[in-house]
Amino acid sequence: MTDRVREILGWYGGDNPGTLANLARLFASGRLAGTGRLLILPVDQGFEHGPARSFAPNPPAYDPRYHYRLAIDVGCSAYAAPLGWLEAGLGHGAAEIPLILKLNSHDSLGDEHDPTQSIHGSVDDALRLGCAGVGYTIYPGSGRRFEMYDELRDIAREAKSRGLVVVVWSYPRGGGLSTEDETAIDVVAYAAHLAAELGAHIVKVKLPSERLAQAAARRVYEEQRIPIGTLTERVRHVVQASFAGRRVVIFSGGAAKPSDEDVLAEVESVREGGGFGMIMGRNSFQRPHDRACALLARVAATLAA
């Protein structure tokens, strides 16, 4: 337990000792143990995008056992996946790394105008599997967002009462937003704030662009001269929007990038902007095992620098 981790735990004084212990467990695991930063491997892309789009670039990744080993070999802080995926790999290192059960998912087979999510796991499942936390996705901007907020309220209440960490994927999406708007800085900062308001211990968002999507927000950004010209400045603003940095905000690695240097440039911006780490899926498991381990070792070293 380092002073930095003690400081972070102090932001969650309203939570019970079991939740704080699991939060501390995340910050005490893997290459980044004790630094106050996190590197998480998420593998929910098979449900979200389909198996071929997710795993064909690296066929061993079709096997759920592969990802347990990858997360452990890399030294990740945690491994996050849906119920069936976690169950299929249990016994292949599950006791060696904290687990996060992703409770809901969205498939890519239907109408995207007002997307929602299917709940396919429970707090009981997370406890049965020995998880440190649960994950849940919301879509700010969807016409069905309030249903997701209500579901999250109930899930978060139960998870916290039973000592689990709540991780919220806050991904703006829906008929009211263009594809470019989904990563606009004002929209991403709003999404991060919403997740914190809804009770997330850890907020996951995408890296924001310099775009300003909302006219009312644009006036404020311009009048107050909020700096958003660089990715580092935008990360800093998103962290500020999450209770002045008193909620842990981690950033998605996004789609796989061919160049390791492109990945590392984003990671450096996250570190310099005060972000708490990365949650990297496709940039991990779509590379061969040795390349993924080498890249994520550099990611961890960059975050820890």
HSE on the CB side for 185, CA within 13 Å? 24
Coil, helix or strand for 252? Answer: strand
Say what the pTM is.
Answer: 0.96
66, 68, 171, 190: the catalytic one is 171
Q: Which of 54, 35, 93 is nearest to 303 (CA)?
A: 35
Q: Is residue 190 flagged as an active site residue?
A: no
| Domain locations along the chain | 3-304
Cα 85 to Cα 77: distance, rounded to the nearest angstrom: 18
- The domain defined by 3-304 folds into TIM Barrel (3.20.20)
Q: Is residue 160 flagged as an active site residue?
A: no
102, 160, 204, 206: the catalytic one is 204
Q: What is the pLDDT along the chain (305 residues), one digit of tens a residue?
A: 899 999 999 999 999 999 999 999 999 999 999 999 999 999 998 888 999 999 999 999 999 999 999 999 999 999 999 999 999 988 777 789 999 999 999 988 876 788 898 999 999 999 999 999 999 999 999 999 999 999 999 999 999 999 999 999 999 999 889 999 999 999 999 999 999 999 999 999 999 999 999 999 999 999 999 999 999 999 999 999 999 999 999 999 888 788 999 999 999 999 999 999 999 999 999 999 999 999 999 999 999 98
Cα 191 to Cα 176: distance, rounded to the nearest angstrom: 14
Backbone angles phi, psi at 158, to 5 degrees: -65, -45
Cβ neighbour number for residue 29 with a 10 Å cutoff: 22
Q: Which two structure tokens, joined as six digits, stand for 123?
A: 């707090």
Triad 257, 284, 125: Cα angle to 5°: 135
Cβ neighbour number for residue 142 with a 10 Å cutoff: 24
